[in-house]
A and B are shown apart, each in its own frame.
Chain A
Amino acid sequence: MLDILVSGLLLSGTYALVAMGLNLQYGVARIMNLANGEVLVLGALASFWLYTTSQISPILTVILVIPISFIGNYLIYRFLLTPLVRRSKTQGALEVDSILATFGMSFIFIGIMVSIEGGFFFYKYLSEPIQILGSTTSLNRLVAFLIAVLIGAGLYLWLNLSRPGIAVRAVSVSTEASGLVGINVPRISALAFALGGTITAVGGALISTFITLDASIGVVFTLKALIIVIMGGVGEIRGAIVAAVILGIVETAVATLIDPGLTLASAYFIFILILLFRPQGLFGRRAV
């Protein structure tokens, strides 16, 4: 029982981080990014590849991943998604277009990753067992959790205390009103999208230290991140954290008590409950 709580909690740290990334992209930049999971796997591939070819520690990779994925995601938003934002007349039309475009991107990412590494991204890093509260887990899980918490806390403070952070939150509340008070909405949206992608890629690099991924697994992570975002309420950072903890623990419980093959089914089960009983999310306000 305690084992489930500890490892579920450790898992939820990275989940929360990834969901924060998606929240920035969907809640602020209004882009439903279904290539999110592939960006995560790209981060994982980077850390796998650097570790197996040149023994670069995944923690160092995280630092390398930050500028690269920020620039990459910024360029994607600027050149591929901005035309769609300009073209669409309604939020619904933008959603359909962005869903299709990011699908395309996700397949292109998968294609690129398969050509680099077609098999599993398997490597061992800090895998020695450690004891937490009397339950055994591995060191890499703890390290990944701590880094995720550190980055998540930094992001939270940045969003709440800094000027650009407050602008980002303003855009997430209302694009029109933010434009009226002098916020450069396209610039903030691009910033939020790039930042969201960066955080996702970092999350991927961290996850790869304790879960073995492969090029085509991205969609599962996209789905989990989306479920967390919806469960927490779109644009709610605190909601996403609580939702990530719930999903992490439920998944771990199902995997240990019933069958590891049913983690996705358990995520779906939570999703259905949310849709039926609280579609605005645990912390979201009901739309008028």
Chain B
Amino acid sequence: MKRANWQELLWVAIIVVLAAFWPMLANGYWLGIGVDMMMYIALATSWVLFSGPTHYISLASAAFFGVGGFIVGTGMSDYEASFWSMLALSAVVGGALAALIGLATLRLSGVYFVIFTLGLAEMIRNLVSWIQNNFLGSRGLYVLTDFTDKHLYWMLLVTAAAVYLLGWIISRSRLGFALRIIGGDETVARHVGINTAMAKVILFTSTGFFGAIVGAIIAPRWSYIEPNQVFSPQLSFFVVIMALLGGSGRLWGPIVGVVPFLLIWNWVDANFPHQSILVLGLAFLVIVYFLPHGFVGRIDQLRARARGRS
């Protein structure tokens, strides 16, 4: 078991190193897709970090992402702060926001949590627009940096790798063990003396932390930021689909979900722009009915079968 863990880490490290060369090979359109992919890999991996073991479906990704982008925008445009200080601030705010949401909802049943996160991005968007209209005056924010897609790609790669490493460390720690028990049966977990609410809040905080970082990193790509743009609820659904498509049972699952989904999605969006939302719906149904454990589940199944035959 332990050796397999190290082996997995090694494989991921090799993939990260190889992925770092992508900007040398690709530019323009394909580099843009690479940035998208890295963004979703980082978001989906941090989603799996929390939702994988607990089976709680979080739809808050867009909220944290938006908070990150918005803080960078406001700080750089209205207060002339540096990008890096705003990146740090958005990580802290994202984490704090997640901790508060977690404290309010994660002590209760999972349904309350899902419902709460469902409209969260929309609610924060309303609040932010209202504050901007009434107190700050301006509606759009400018984020001007020297970063090109190449730099954003590398920053996102580092973030994704950091998320993975954190998840890997957690899975080997007491906290990870506790989370696996919670995922198996929460009542049992409570009876053996695990503080289930605390474990979930800690994990969810890390999701918020990284979600905001990703949002902050993406901000320079847009250069002009509007609340309607950074708080797009669709992002949360994308993250959930990609993570589940890959399989939330493993930390590397999102990688095998993000890459095919984004390629298919870009093709659909380019050729059938009006039907794209239908495809999103069908993707959910396919996952629920045909791939309940994602690609990873299928791979494990095939592996087990191959082993049984030999």
Contacts of B254-295 to chain A: CB distance below 8 A: 274-275, 277-278, 280-285, 287-289, 292
Whether a CB of chain B sits under 8 angstroms from the CB of A96 is: yes
A3 interface contact, C-beta 8 A: no
Residue of B nearest to A96 (CB): B55
Interface: B115 (CB within 8 A):
yes
How far is B289's CA from A106's CA once the two chains are assembled, in angstroms? Answer: 16
Q: Which candidate, A45-53, A55-63, A66-74, A272-280, is the interface stretch facing chain B?
A: A272-280
| Contact present for A104 and B118 (CB under 8 Å) | no
The yes or no answer to B138 lying at the interface (CB within 8 A) is no
In the complex, chain B residues whose CB is within 8 Å of the CB of A96: 55, 57, 110
**Number of A interface residues in the complex (CB < 8 A):** 43
Q: Given A107-B281, A107-B284, A219-B233, do A264 and B123 touch, yes or no (CB 8 Å)?
A: yes
Across-interface contacts of A130 in B (CB, < 8 A): none
Interface with A: B29-37, B38-46, B126-134, B159-167, which one? B126-134
Q: How near does chain A come to B15, taking the closest CB pair, in angstroms?
A: 28
Q: A96-B57, A265-B127 are in contact. Are A34 and B281 (CB under 8 A)?
A: no
Check A111 against B277 for contact (C-beta < 8 Å).
yes
- Given A111-B277, A275-B104, the answer on whether A95 and B110 have CB atoms closer than 8 Å is yes
Q: Which of A136-144, A187-195, A220-228 contacts B (4 or more CB under 8 A)?
A: A220-228
Query: Does B86 touch A at the CB level, under 8 Å?
Result: no
**Interface contact B289-A95, CB-CB below 8 Å:** no
Whether A107 contacts B278 in the complex (CB less than 8 A), given A226-B115, A259-B134, A268-B119, comes out as yes
A236-263: contact bitstring with B at CB < 8 Å (1 yes, 0 no)? 0000000000000000000000010110
Q: Determine whether A114 belongs to the interface, using a CB cutoff of 8 Å to chain B.
A: yes
* Chain A, interface SS category: helix
The digit string for B83-117, where 1 denotes a CB below 8 A from any CB of A, is 00000000000000000000011001011101110
Tell me if B122 is interfacial: C-beta within 8 Å of chain A: yes
In the complex, which of the residues A107, A227, A271 contacts B280, with contact meaning CB atoms closer than 8 Å?
Answer: A107
Chain A residues with CB below 8 A from B281, complex form: 103-111
Nearest chain B residue, comparing its CB with the CB of A226: B115
> Is B237 at the interface (CB under 8 A from chain A)?
yes
Q: Which residues from chain A sit less than 8 Å from chain B, CB to CB? A: 32, 34, 80, 83-84, 92-93, 95-97, 99-101, 103-112, 114-115, 219-220, 222-223, 226-227, 230, 259, 261-262, 264-265, 268, 271-272, 275-276, 279
